Amino acid sequence: MIHTVGPVWQNGEQGEKELLHQAYYNSLKLAEGNNVTRISFPNISTGIYGFPKKQAAPIAVQTVQEFLRAQAVIKKVIFVCFDDENYSIYRSLLGY
């Protein structure tokens, strides 16, 4: 298990988008370094931390897609959506 802490949303004025990107990227980098071939992510920061779901999801998807293209260890990434809104957003972004 890799634990990451995402940013608390503060109206987008405190570098939250970059911090969220780093939460995903650093987790992927750590997984790669430990030869993890599959990893799952919740919707980081979109719960009590208040990051807007429609802004967080593209950051998550883009970060993961770019990372996967640049390495060969991680073969599968699962986004675990805990509510229908996130599920719908991710389905749309991933073309399902």
Name residue 38's beta-bridge partners: 76
Model-level pTM? 0.95
For the 16-94 domain, the top CATH level (class) is alpha beta
H or E stretch at 77? strand 76-79
d(CA 57, CA 33): 25
Q: How many residues does the chain have?
A: 96
Distance, CA of 81 to CA of 87 (rounded, Å)? 5
Dihedral Cα 17, 52, 67, 95, nearest 10 deg: -150
Q: State the average pLDDT for the chain.
A: 97
What span, in angstroms and rounded, lies between the C-alpha atoms of 76 and 45?
A: 22
Report pLDDT digits (tens) over 10-35.
Answer: 999 999 999 999 999 999 999 999 99
| DSSP H or E segment with residue 38 | strand 38-41
pLDDT at 1 over 90: no
